Amino acid sequence: MKHLEENYDIVVVGAGHAGCEAALAGARLGVSTIMFTVSAESIALMPCNPNVGGSSKGHLVRELDALGGEMGKNIDKTFIQSKMLNCSKGPAVHSLRAQADKQAYSNEMRKTLENQENLTIRQGEVTKLLVEDGKITGVKTYSGAVYHCKAVVLCTGTYLKARCIYGDVSNYTGPNGLQAANYLTDSLKELGIEMFRFKTGTPARIAGNTIDYSKMEEQFGDERVVPFSFSTDPEDVQIEQKSCWLTYTNETTHDIIRANLDRSPLYSGMIEGTGPRYCPSIEDKVVRFADKKRHQVFIEPEGMYTNEMYIGGMSSSLPEDVQEEMYHSVSGLEHAKIVKNAYAIEYDCINPRQLYPTLEFKKIKGLFSGGQFNGSSGYEEAAAQGLIAGINAAMEVLGKEQLILDRSEAYIGVLIDDLVTKENHEPYRMMTSRAEYRLLLRQDNADLRLRKKGWEVGLVDDETYAKVVEKERLIAEEIQRVENTNVGMTEAVQSLLESKGSTPLKSGISLAELIRRPELSYADVAPIDKNRPELAWDVQEQVNINIKYDGYIRRQMKQVEQFKKLEAKKIPEDLDYEKVKSLRIEARQKLELYRPVSIGQASRISGVSPADISVLLVYMEQYGKNR
Ligand SMILES: Cc1cc2nc3c(=O)[nH]c(=O)nc-3n(C[C@H](O)[C@H](O)[C@H](O)COP(=O)(O)OP(=O)(O)OC[C@H]3O[C@@H](n4cnc5c(N)ncnc54)[C@H](O)[C@@H]3O)c2cc1C
């Protein structure tokens, strides 16, 4: 039988947040790319919460943007409310979070993809991977068509053998009733790839005009919005924003849930997949945090095009009638009409241990993967991995060096290292506490950390990169000036200090030392800083943070030096752990399984002890000499 046959450099399977970034990266790096989706309507779809960013996820989006990704630009064009979270805490945990108009987000991304040179969008289900001699050669679709290629990026999200469940109702579909992808798993298993079954869930959507907002607290966006993308003009995001609403569950809600737990597919055993510990369903919260009298419920608009509201914090897979009763027990939702039921979804994904930190499969050359398929959860986690997988697939096609970000350089580095190095038995969610060097990895300095990498790879143009080089220069110059500017006990100085509740001076002091006082900032001391140059707000922000946290930043930089030493000790790809005689059996098995790229990575594998690392180091020294 005759079948369609085409040739591309890269095939991306999936058009979710990971697939979009992977496809754009490939095409923008100049290699011909085709992106498959089971349904073209699911491009950049947000099947769950209508927002981008939030704690630590905001960092990921900023980093992705600095590297040349699209998510930050796209949300800047389509948000309806924006907030910098955690502002009462230190700058390391400040995190931007923007509510999206879901439809607009999806449409805008689709437009960007459609206008991208070197990129073809194709609706169709990829059912088989074609591999020869351990190397990817192409994919086959359900229709029998063959697409030859040099690299494949798998970003299949929650669609593989997907099953949606609430109560005893179960449907073999993907999110939002979209078609699932039922064949690719078998092809992956035939290739010896280890699969997991995970699950996640979403709350109900409720008709906005049936909600009594007078019983809820109105949540406004920030007065001055900060854009996600370093390339967006801050003036362009000062729009009129939509409100969200805050309400709470109560004892009645919890009683209804407890009384019906036996009808929950989660607890009856009907759901086999492992769920995310850090974004639990409401029934999970009620069971696990039994002493909590109430839980927050955020009511968030799904967009400007609809009256549907997302019921944040109440994802569930309880039966329809229980959902109805449970939501109605919440203050303000007494007469609410459900538009879409809450449901859980089970899907196939991989054990990400099978990947190198480049996101290429160790077993199959040219096969990369990103997103929920790698065992993570969240749009931002997906996008970040998709970008790295797409870049590295392109680098492989172009015969260039691959991009690996380490744990000291980016949250993206922490995310990928955690996935490929640590035991991962549930959907992985990014959190600031996972980053060791979080004072250095702030969302405000992602451009200073990563623009250069994006430029070296080829996703950031010369002009954009030049801007960050200039910004760096201005920051350094200003810090130097402030460190070397002294103020005395003049009346102006003493009265300024008094007005800020700060101790008056007993002798001269540098401006920098004043800024280091907890109650003062770079902006506060402006009136006594006569020679201050006019600087952009983002330069001023860096000057302030770098001066204020100077001691802590230096300390972390020292720790990073140590860390880098171990990362730089590369383990030869062909090292035979059987020959490392003094290794404990558990360590040998784990090292063989993970095949870490460096001593640093080896030291983070659970079951590999510091003593094993010493043995390995001694062996490697001998190994080097004998070569
Ligand atoms: C019900 C539900 C609740 C969730 N809750 C949240 C949440 O609260 N917050 C959050 O951030 N994340 C949540 N997620 C997860 C979030 O949707 C994902 O983390 C994110 O969308 C993953 O992006 P992705 O690109 O990896 O995959 P997806 O967005 O799932 O995209 C997968 C893409 O792959 C395509 N595809 C799959 N298989 C094939 C194939 N064989 N051939 C061709 N195309 C294929 C699909 O058509 C689709 O375009 C939830 C997901 C669901 C479904």
pLDDT in tens, 532-563: 999 999 999 999 999 999 999 999 999 999 99
Closest residue by Cα to atom 9, ligand 1, is 378
Identify the residue whose tokens are 């880098």: 564
Q: How are beta strands 244-248 and 163-166 bridged, if at all? A: unpaired
Residue 377 CA, closest ligand 1 atom number: 19
CA of 433 to the centre of ligand 1 (A): 25
Q: What separation in Å is there between the alpha carbon of 105 and the centre of ligand 1?
A: 15
In angstroms, the CA 353 to CA 419 distance is: 7
Q: Where are the beta strands (DSSP E) in 465-518?
A: 486-487, 509-510
Report how far residue 494's alpha carbon sits from residue 551's, in angstroms, rounded to the nearest whole number: 26
Span 54-109, pLDDT tens digits: 999 999 999 999 999 999 999 999 999 999 999 888 888 999 999 999 999 999 99
**Residue 279: is its pLDDT beyond 80?**
no
Cβ atoms 78, 237 nearer than 8 A: no
Distances (CA, A) of 308 to 145, 154, 242, 303, 333: 39, 32, 13, 8, 13
Q: Average pLDDT of 571-590?
A: 91
Q: DSSP 3-state assignment of 132?
A: strand
CA–centroid distance, residue 362 to ligand 1 (Å): 24
Q: To which residue do tokens 């030392």 refer?
A: 513
Task: Provide residues with CB under 6 Å of ligand 1.
Answer: 13-19, 36-39, 42, 47-49, 125-126, 155-160, 175, 181, 184, 200-202, 279, 345, 371-373, 377-379, 382
Minimum mean pLDDT among 70-74, 93-97, 268-272, 610-614: which range? 268-272
Query: What distance in Å separates the CA atoms of residue 12 and residue 390, rounded to the nearest whole number?
Result: 8
- 79 forms beta bridges with 100
Q: What is the pLDDT of residues 210-265, one digit of tens each?
A: 999 999 999 999 999 999 999 999 999 999 999 999 999 999 999 999 999 999 88
| Per-residue CA distances from 275 to 165, 271, 341 (Å) | 13, 10, 19
| CATH number corresponding to 569-626 | 1.10.150.570
Local structure of residue 53 (DSSP, 8 states): E
Question: How close are the terminal C-alpha atoms of the chain, in Å?
Answer: 53
Q: Domain 205-343 has what CATH class?
A: mainly beta
Which pair of tokens denotes residue 603? 């030291």
Quick one: which of 76, 95, 72 has its CA closest to 85?
95
Please report, as a single letter, which amino acid is at residue 565: K
Res 90: pLDDT: 86
Measured in angstroms, how far is the CA atom of residue 176 from the centroid of ligand 1? Answer: 11
Statement: residue 269 has pLDDT above 80: no
pLDDT at 301: 97
Pairwise pLDDT comparison (625 vs 485), residue with the higher score: 485
**CATH class given for the domain over 462-555:** mainly alpha
Residue 553 burial by Cβ neighbours in a 10 Å radius (0-12, 13-18, 19+): middle
Residue listed under structure tokens 């109105």: 218
Atom of ligand 1 nearest to the CA of 38: 47
Closest ligand 1 atom, CA of 380? 11
CA of 132 to the centre of ligand 1 (A): 29
pLDDT exceeding 70 applies to what percent of the chain?
A: 100
Contact (CB, 8 A) for 20 and 44: yes
Per-residue pLDDT at 627 exceeds 70: no
* Average pLDDT over all residues of the chain: 95
Query: Distance from the CA of 112 to the center of ligand 1, in angstroms?
Result: 19
Q: If you measure from the C-alpha of residue 496 to the centroid of ligand 1, how many angstroms do you get, rounded to a whole number? A: 54
Mean pLDDT of 386-411: 97
Cα 247 to the chain's mean position, in Å? Answer: 27
The confidence score (pLDDT) of residue 267 equals 74
Q: In this predicted model, what pLDDT tens digit does every residue of 428-462 receive, in sequence order?
A: 999 999 999 999 999 999 999 999 999 999 999 99
Amino acid (1-letter code) at residue 341: N
Residue nearest to atom 35 of ligand 1 (CA): 14
Q: Where are the domains of the chain?
A: 205-343, 462-555, 569-626
Asked if residue 622 has pLDDT above 80, the reply is: yes
Task: Indicate which residue's Cα is closest to atom 44 of ligand 1.
Answer: 37
How would residue 624 be classed by pLDDT, with cut points 50, 70 and 90? confident
The pLDDT, as a whole number, for residue 326 is 97
Say yes or no to pLDDT of 116 above 90: yes
ipTM higher than threshold 0.95: no
Query: Which residue's alpha carbon is nearest to atom 49 within ligand 1?
Result: 15
* pLDDT score at 582: 87
Minimum-distance ligand 1 atom for the alpha carbon of 127: 41
Side chain identity at 395, as an amino acid letter?
M
In sequence order, what E strands does 257-365 have?
296-301, 308-312, 338-340, 343-350
Q: How many CB atoms lie within 10 A of CB 528?
A: 19
The torsion angles phi and psi of 151, rounded to 5 degrees, stand at -150, 150
Residues 6+ apart with CB under 8 A from 415: 60, 376, 381, 384, 385, 428, 430, 434
CA of 56 to the centre of ligand 1 (A): 20
Nearest to 437, CA basis, from 604, 602, 543, 557: 557
Other residues' Cβ atoms within 10 Å of the Cβ of residue 179? 14
Name which residue sits closest to atom 7 of ligand 1, judged by CA: 48
Sign, CA dihedral 463-464-469-474, equals positive
Q: Can you tell me which atom of ligand 1 is nearest the CA of 125?
A: 42
Each residue's pLDDT tens digit, 135-159 = 999 999 999 999 999 999 999 999 9
Residue of 282, 372, 426 to mutate, ligand 1, most atoms within 8 A of C-beta: 372
Could you tell me the two tokens for 481? 């000036």
Residue of the nearest CA to atom 41 in ligand 1? 126
Q: Quick one: pLDDT at residue 273? A: 76
